[in-house]
Structure 1
Amino acid sequence: MTQLQTNPMLSAQDRFARNVTARLTEGSAALPHDISERLRIARMQALAHRKQVIMRSATVVASQGGGTAALTFGNQGDNDRPNWWTRFAAALPLVALVAGLLTIYVVQNDLRADELAEVDTALLTDDLPTVAYTDPGFVEFLKANRDTTSP
């Protein structure tokens, strides 16, 4: 077996294509010049077409059964298992979402605590208006506080 046939990084299609190319190259030595030129041009066109197909399939949204879609990153090998970089890229939006939600939660709690502190400070430092002393609800509040604080 040659090195091309045993290379595990090549897919089965690539290995087959390389084997066919090697056999055609071996047999092309006995061909007339005009035929070999046409074959060379056809090979160049096929390679150009292959490069275009590879560029288009680098990042594709592939439709799966059941009305779902998955973002794929080109050919992932014979077993189609995603590598660690693909898994990291898929988990990154979830991590960003959780971090954003935690940040919003912390900021909102800080703002709420600041607002409550401002209200409490304003109540404690302001003078009580005289109308509050004549309010019946205020008198009831004082009575209730006396009942709970006395032994």
Structure 2
Amino acid sequence: MKNKEMQFAYKVKLALDANLDNLSDDTLQSLAAARRVALARKKHTPMTVRVEQPLLAGAFGGGMLHQESPSWWNRLGVAAPLLVGIILFAGIYQHENAKRVSYLADIDAAVLSDELPLSAYLDHGFNAFLAEKGQ
């Protein structure tokens, strides 16, 4: 129904624009008065618009909600996975770093508790001796 009203209003506008030069002063004054009345009525009627906004699929059941602005749930639906990914990456990094430090500490403890002097480990001949001894 609204579409037909818009088409009719557009046709009236075109007809008035085409015959604007042929209209009398009385007709122009009555059209101006009708326009003022229409604008006054339009100002008194509040116009509200509802926008359908899709939610992220699977975040809160999917579907459509009628909202006037994006809610903090929508923003959280985007930011939460990013935040979880960053925290997970930092946790994995810390765990691997702790494993590496523990491994190096074990090697240092084994070297320091051994009876050989540290210079023996730096000698290339000693490495060859250990390789032959292991066979």
Please tell me whether Structure 1 or Structure 2 has the larger radius of gyration of its CA atoms: 2
TM-score, length basis structure 1 = 0.38
TM-score (norm 2): 0.41
> Looking at both structures, which has the greater relative contact order when contacts are Cα pairs under 8 Å and sequence separation is at least 6?
1
